[in-house]
Each structure stands twice: as structure tokens, then as C-alpha cells.
Amino acid sequence: QFKYKQLMDWWLTLYDNVLYQHNCDLLDAAVFNAWDADMDRFIVNRGLTNVWADLQGGYGNEFVRHVNNKIARLLGSPPGGVGSPP
């Protein structure tokens, strides 16, 4: 479980960085869209919701909102999630 959380955290850090670069206009739209679609598959196929409540505190509000919105859209969970920023 510990290694699983570490691996999930590593991937989330990568996705956080991709979103940050996108928001700073440092990535082409096609590159961002490919990573964003990859993140969708990650959320659905890797069980992010099993650890997201424990990990989301390590990320900024913008990324947490982005992930929570994806979880809601992809998995039908309530928007925002537990402990999400306003």
C-alpha cells in the first residue's frame, strides 16, 4: 500500500506539472490534450479514488479542483470530493 501511494503520488506530480505548464502557455494544445486524456485513463484504471483523499493535500487548489472535476465526470462521484478547496 505504501509503494502504491508513492507511485500514485509520483504520477499526480507529473500531471500537476503538465497542468501548470499548460496554464503558463508552455505546452502546445495537442501535447496537453494527450496528457489530459492519459490522466483520464489513469483515474479510471489505476484506482485513484482509493488514495486521492490522502494525497490531495499535497497539491494546489487548482490541481485538486481539476482532479475532482475529472473524478466527477469520469466516475460519477459528487463534484468536489472530500476536503476539496472551495
Q: Could you report the per-residue pLDDT of 11-67, keeping only the tens digit for each?
A: 999 999 999 999 999 999 999 999 999 999 999 999 999 999 999 999 999 999 999
Residue 53: alpha-carbon gap to chain centroid: 12
Read off the C-alpha cell for 39: 490522466
Q: For residues 27-63, b (16+ Cβ closer than 10 Å) or e, as one string?
A: beeeebeebbeebeebbeeeebeebbeebbeebeeeb
DSSP 57: G
> Residue 85 pLDDT more than 50?
no
Residues in the chain: 86
